[in-house]
Amino acid sequence: MSKPSPFKYFKTSPEIIRLAVMMYIRFPLSLRNVEDLLHERGIEISHETVRFWWHRFGPLFAAEIRKRRIERMKSSHWRWHLDEMFVKINGERHYLWRAVDHEGEVLESFVTKTRDKKAALKFLKKAMKKHGRCAQFVTDKLRSYGAALKDLGVSDRQETGRWLNNRGENSHLPFRRRERAMLRFRRMRSLQKFASVHASVTNHFNSERSLSSRTVFKQNRAAALAEWRGLGTA
C-alpha cells in the first residue's frame, strides 16, 4: 500500500514547493530573497509561505535523504571527525556538535547548552545508535571527548593532533554562511531542527567538485537534482 502524498491538499505544485525549500536551505538566502527569486520566475508567493513550506517539508525531505544515504554508506565506520562550534541563541552561548566521516559527510548534528562530559556522551551515544561504532575518532584536545569515549570503552580509538581535525572544523563553514543569512536563531529547538536538515541537504548536493572532472561533476549534480525532484513521491 502506497503512502499518502505529503503534498495533498496543497494548491501549489510539488515542483515549486521543492524548489522553494531547496533554495532556502541550500543557499544563504533569507525568506524574502527566496520570495523575490521566485517572483522573477513568475511565481507569486509570500515569504511566510516559504517559511511554512520549510517547516512542513524540510524535515520530511531530510529524513528521506538521510534514510537513503545511511542504507548506502559502507565506509563511514572507518574514521569520524568530531568537533563543536559556538552558536548564540538570544545572546546565550550554545554548542553545536558534529560528527563527520573521512569524506566530509556530516553524520550527526546535536545542540547542547554545555560542552562537558555529559553533553559529549549524549552526542556520541546518539551518533553511535544511528551509525554504529567506528574504528577511529579524531578530536581536538577538549577533555570531554576523552572522558566520554572512556565511558563508552573506546578511548583507545581516539586520536588528537595538530591539523588532524581540519575535516571536522571545515564542515562548519557552510552552516556559518547560512547562519549569517538567517540572522542567527532564537530557540534551541529551531537550531537543532535547521542544523539537522541543513546537514542532510548539504550532504545530498555535495559532489566534491575539486576531486572529479567537469564531466563527472555535472553527472553527479544532475543525479542529485533528479533525486531531489523525486522526494515526497509515493
CATH 3.30.420.10 domain extents, the chain: 79-205
User: Mean pLDDT over residues 52-76, rounded?
Assistant: 84
Alpha-carbon torsion (184, 188, 190, 194), positive or negative = positive
Grid coordinates 543525479 are at which residue?
223
Encode pLDDT of 130-156 as tens digits: 888 889 999 999 999 999 999 999 999
Provide the whole-model pTM. Answer: 0.88
User: Mapping DSSP to helix (H, G, I), strand (E, B) and coil, where does residue 173 land?
Assistant: helix
Whether 199 and 101 have beta carbons less than 8 Å apart is answered as no
Q: Report the pLDDT value the prediction gives residue 1, as an integer from 0 to 100.
A: 53
User: Mean pLDDT over residues 63-92, rounded?
Assistant: 84
Q: Report the pLDDT value the prediction gives residue 68, as an integer from 0 to 100.
A: 83
Grid coordinates 525532484 are at which residue?
229
Domain 79-205 maps to which CATH number in 3.50.50.60, 3.30.420.10, 3.30.390.50, 2.70.98.10?
3.30.420.10
- Other C-beta atoms closer than 10 Å to the C-beta of 2 total 6
Q: Report the pLDDT value the prediction gives residue 182, as an integer from 0 to 100.
A: 82
Grid coordinates 545530498 are at which residue?
204
Lowest-pLDDT range of 39-43, 87-91, 209-213: 209-213
